[in-house]
Structure 1
């Protein structure tokens, strides 16, 4: 009456078959199953009503010699909603760059606000003398995050740092930090949207796969850890982070550091949309340092060469002629 199905691992023979009793004996009298629910991999899934599929599904026997047709086949569509899964987001994004001293941290209260009165134990201070007892105490196995106290209160923080600028390339460092004392994120993944992913050349310590299902533009990438190296994101602490660097080739028609172009448009961690800072807060290029014209650059180069020649001649005279 209330069957439970399990998604079998790849390679399992025949998949799974369910014999439904007392559901009718013909296409006219058969009754569709109701109230489908997906409990794994977690909450947040809502399933619609079963719709009859025509023609019914056909199954081939393991030896490939005969075909069996199901009496009736139904199709059930289940959708996932982050808002149904949990009240608040699970991750946030911080931004920084080599050309600006400003570090734009995760927005305040990205995943919730500190409120130990109504929700005691929801966060702990990193230097608290009771840290060990709280982490190892009652509720240790709970799925409710126990995070390090912070202005953003997120279990996961992603830091995108524009690290360097070369003649033909530019470099980014990504750091994913686990602020959750209750969870090791195994086999995590990060999905990043940025227009320059079409020109990514090297990713140093993450796996990478381009995501362009419609074949229109390659601006989205999935990143995940290397097996036995950084595919396990440990709980909060010294080992609670993974890092990698990405090297992009410059496209002269699109590349610029102006107006926050070097920062991602969206970031998802394990399928959850991360809270991004407001675009007007991005560490943009300083507006008080205009670009040098070719004439100004040439004048500076001439002055620099003259100074080097003067110092060199002065040192040679001091060495061989003595000081006057």
Structure 2
């Protein structure tokens, strides 16, 4: 979808809105929405953008990360679990930069302000994630939103109709068979498996799986952001290098050991690598409750991964009295802590 206004000095200038369905839920789906300012010299200034649309059916927004709806709407028919918004025509605004980490999403929280593409491409993009309910649970039953609009400084923008993009298609090795992408559309999957939770330490296993056939990843890198990486005590099977920025040691790069696991093989029995971390707890900076056991951001080979919504992360106690977490609980945490990796298309 494009927001356009012809400018002879910037004939290709537009604001693009991409609505990516990244996973299915019991009554709907999770979508990542990206707003890109492709205007070469026109920034979007304060008070920033407001994005709105009309639902095609009776959809609701269960939860959001990186943005919020300005009106909850009429949710009186819901008992117990109340949606974030029941409005037929929701309006969504970006969150300010000061919001807590567990409410964030990649490229969010700029207060709706976007730089121009010519000035700073990385700051010309904003994104948020939302969980949509009562919408259908397949490509055949889901209907895309319609009548998108963008309000901002000045008169705002008029949007074109949304365009549905066909699924990605690749060919088999013999060139005769077309194969559609997997349902979850993940070329790479990262497991963040909380294995043990002690009083002073906790242990995590990171496993990276390659779902691509006929493609290896040589000299791969994995970047993770977590507030407890400043107390990383041990890393096995991977090399680790902290990426300290603005005197903050919460981000680091993991990469393979030469001739051992620096080559991530194509999909199959050898198409995975893994490591275990031991982290010393720092209760003054964070706790393991409310999703803090899991990373804030993940990058694979420089591509940003789309994270699940924070409210689906399992909660953990700060420590166990004597023993580590039981193995049955750990199995549940492994399934709950899947990082679905969706690479944004580069055009």
Tell me the TM-score range normalised by the shorter chain: 0.3 to 0.5
Structure having the higher Rg? 1
- Structure showing the higher helix proportion among its residues: 1
- Structure showing the higher strand proportion among its residues: 2
- Normalising by structure 1, we get a TM-score of 0.45
